[in-house]
Amino acid sequence: MRRRWMAAVAATMAGLLTLTACGGGEEGGGGESPQAGGAKQVEVFSWWTGPGEADGLKAMREIFEKQNTGLTFFDAAVAGGSGDKARALLTSKLQANEPPDTFQGHAGAELQGYIKAGDLEPVNFLYDELKLKEVFPQQLVDQISVGGQIYSVPVNIHRSNVMWFNPGVLKDAGISEAPATIEEFIAALEKVKQAGKIPLSIGSEWTAVHLLESVLLGSLGTEAYNQLWTANSDWSGPAMTKALNDFKTILSYAGDPQDDWQPAAKQVADGEAAFNIMGDWAYGYFHNPPDGGLGKTSKTDFDWAPSPGTGGTFMWLSDSFTLPKGAPNRDGAIAWLKVAASKEGQDAFNPKKGSIPARKDADTSLYTDYLGDALKDWGSNKLAGSIQHGVTVNDAWRTAINEAVGLFQQSKDVAEFQKALADAAKNSGQ
């Protein structure tokens, strides 16, 4: 089993390296060579290629190009939700000493590997120049700091623990309100199954890890979940066993896995499925006009609630940009980071992306409907960090969790799954 998984990883890396050698193509951004345009070109590496996220990036790019007429923006985005493919390609570029000018990374533990490897420059000078410590929440600054040094500029805050649902499908199944607990959720999934619709839509493997983090939070509770990432963690106890059995039961109601999160979310919007557990970037996809989204109507075509059992807790993540050591166009990268940090840049980006701003001084009138709820909850809820999206675990630990989930989807063996997770925590080195 492990050999097959490693072979799949090797095949993915080979495909990515071939793609890089060929240039452009579906996985890349625009098909132009990163060298065409010389020292004035700025290579911005991200995984924002889908509806909503690509629209947000385009809006921020327009500001960048307006403010920096002597620079050329090169979109080096790599397709694939959650950035797994992008990070694999990025690793190969960094190992070859060919860094992009700036790259996207999730704020938190995900960046630790790059920091330890010496791949990033601190950006404290930008925080001082732009007075960013005054406009970013302190807990966010703490998460992106190591030894007093700050290594990224956050552009947004996302919520991971969102349950999206189709009100019409729930009504037809006899479900009067969104389930608030794990037990209510399982009962609702069964009702939808009996009504002949897909109870739970799911995407590629990383979306199962995304589902897992919400189930762990909902089953264990916020305090116990947050302790998983400390010296007081308990991955082997009965509470974890129950949580993983809950995950097994919930996963048994999932439909056929889709290629990524967007087609899984679309199954809900189109009334084919009842529920989807996905981050709030799905809001941009649901809500944005058809040229960049599905053009659906909230509260009619789709609705939302905290993932079952997680009400009152905001499971968060933050997209940020970095300054790689040896960036070919360091000045251009800094110019991009200034746009990403700015009020104008964040207010242009986030309403389209389906996220709220990292800054505390953003124009709140731009954040309505779901985004208004998220802005309010971010300021009042308890906080928990995402697993899949880099807040709580470094890349090596996250990879081990992804592998364990992939094997569990085949074996359905909870005891084996729990042992694999416990071993991953023990060997994390975090």
What average pLDDT is seen over the chain? Answer: 90
Phi then psi for residue 73, to 5 deg, are -80, 125
Q: Give CA–CA dist 266/200, Å, rounded.
A: 12
Exposed / middle / buried, residue 293 (Cβ in 10 Å: 0-12, 13-18, 19+): buried
Q: Give CA–CA dist 161/352, Å, rounded.
A: 19
Reported as a single tens digit per residue, the pLDDT across 243-298 is: 999 999 999 999 999 999 999 999 999 999 999 999 999 998 999 888 878 999 99
| Local confidence band at 140 (pLDDT 50, 70, 90 cut-offs) | confident
The CATH architecture assigned to 2-156+319-367 reads 3-Layer(aba) Sandwich (3.40)
Higher pLDDT, 413 or 14: 413
Q: Give CA–CA dist 118/104, Å, rounded.
A: 16
Contacts of 146 (CB under 8 A, 6+ apart): 112, 115
Q: Give CA–CA dist 132/140, Å, rounded.
A: 11
Reported as a single tens digit per residue, the pLDDT across 351-404 is: 989 899 999 999 999 999 999 999 999 988 999 999 999 999 998 999 999 999
Higher pLDDT, 39 or 52: 52
Rounded (5°) CA angle 3-7-11:
175
Any idea how long the chain is? 430
pLDDT at 32 over 70: no
Mean pLDDT, rounded, for 6-22: 36
Predicted confidence at residue 22, as pLDDT, reads: 30
Q: Where in the chain is the domain with CATH 3.40.190.10?
A: 2-156+319-367, 159-315+390-426
The third-level CATH classification (topology) of the domain covering 159-315+390-426 is D-Maltodextrin-Binding Protein; domain 2 (3.40.190)
pLDDT at 235 over 60: yes
pLDDT at 4 over 60: no
Pairing of strands 153-154, 319-321: antiparallel
Phi then psi for residue 147, to 5 deg, are 60, 35
Q: Give CA–CA dist 153/180, Å, rounded.
A: 35
Mean pLDDT, rounded, for 181-203: 98
Reported as a single tens digit per residue, the pLDDT across 72-113 is: 999 999 987 778 889 889 999 999 999 999 999 998 899 988
| Local confidence band at 430 (pLDDT 50, 70, 90 cut-offs) | low
Closest alpha carbon to 109 in 428, 422, 333, 403: 428
Predicted confidence at residue 292, as pLDDT, reads: 77
